[in-house]
Chains A and B, each alone.
Chain A
Amino acid sequence: MRILALFTVIITGIILAYGTQDMPDWGDPKSPASIHVSPRYIEKTIEETATPNVVTSLLADYRGYDTLGETTVIFTAGISCILILRIRKRRREQK
């Protein structure tokens, strides 16, 4: 079983390493991730949000709904942790 897991992992790694030859080079300013959307954010952030830190203006201004959903996620996780750990205690007290 352990041999099978190791085999699967190594095959996956080889496939991914083969896929990296189509990826952009490290630090390439012309990589597709850097030329499509993000220049607009960098150039307009002072004008539209008056925030020098682009990460902050993206997180709290352009993608505010995303951050709202993020707080929902962490709230749900906290509530579910409390619920999971409390149910068990109550059942033990009943016994």
Chain B
Amino acid sequence: MIDLIISKYNYWIYIVLMMIGFYAMIGKKNLVKKIIGINIFQTAIILFFVSTASKRGGTLPIIEHAHGHGAHAIEAASYINPLPHVLMLTAIVVMVSTLGVALAIMILIYRRYNTLEENEILEQRKWSSNPPF
């Protein structure tokens, strides 16, 4: 039982983080809270991918004594996996881009409706005679 906890607890932490983000996405009424929920969700997924890179006994993926010390045999097992790090670097860029565009759209919505609560916006759209936009 203790072995199971030690070997799997990182996944459980990411699952809890993902549940927090998912609840903020579907349970909250405020649109900014929904966007931050999406960000927490993505952070959980990024942490999950980075944790798949770890190897016990491995160090950072920077080759030691790379230049000028003669050719060394490089063992892949002594460096952690660099591929998830690279992929998550791309994912972080996409995350920041979507966050920026979403917050810009939130500014537009606030100027149009003077609120960011979802139910109040739906109420205004229902009773307004002229269609928005």
Contacts and interface: CB of A to CB of B under 8 A. Distances in A.
Are A and B associated in one complex?
yes
Interface of A: 1-2, 5-6, 8-10, 12-13, 16-17, 20-21, 23-29, 31, 33-34, 37-39, 41-43, 45-46, 50, 52-55, 58-59, 63, 66-67, 70, 73-74, 76-78, 80-81, 84-85, 88
Chain B interface helix/strand/loop/mixed: helix
Interface residues of B, number: 54
10 contacts: A13-B15, A20-B15, A26-B9, A42-B61, A46-B66, A54-B62, A58-B83, A66-B90, A74-B93, A84-B108
Given A21-B8, A23-B8, A45 B63 contact: yes
Contact of A27 (B55, B84, B101, B105): B55
Interface in B81-133: 81-86, 89-90, 93-94, 96-98, 100-101, 104-105, 107-108, 111
Contacts of A29: 55-58, 77
Contacts of B4: 21
B97 A43 contact: no
Contacts of A31: 52, 55
B130 to A, nearest CB: 14
Contacts of A74: 93, 96-97
Contacts of B11: 16-17, 20, 23, 26
B88 to A, nearest CB: 10
Given A13-B15, A33-B52, A58-B83, A38 B76 contact: yes
Nearest to B98: A77
Contact of B81 (A6, A34, A59, A63): A34
A59 B62 contact: no
Nearest to A10: B19
B26 A9 contact: yes
Nearest to B94: A73
A9 B23 contact: yes
Contact of A55 (B51, B61, B100): B61
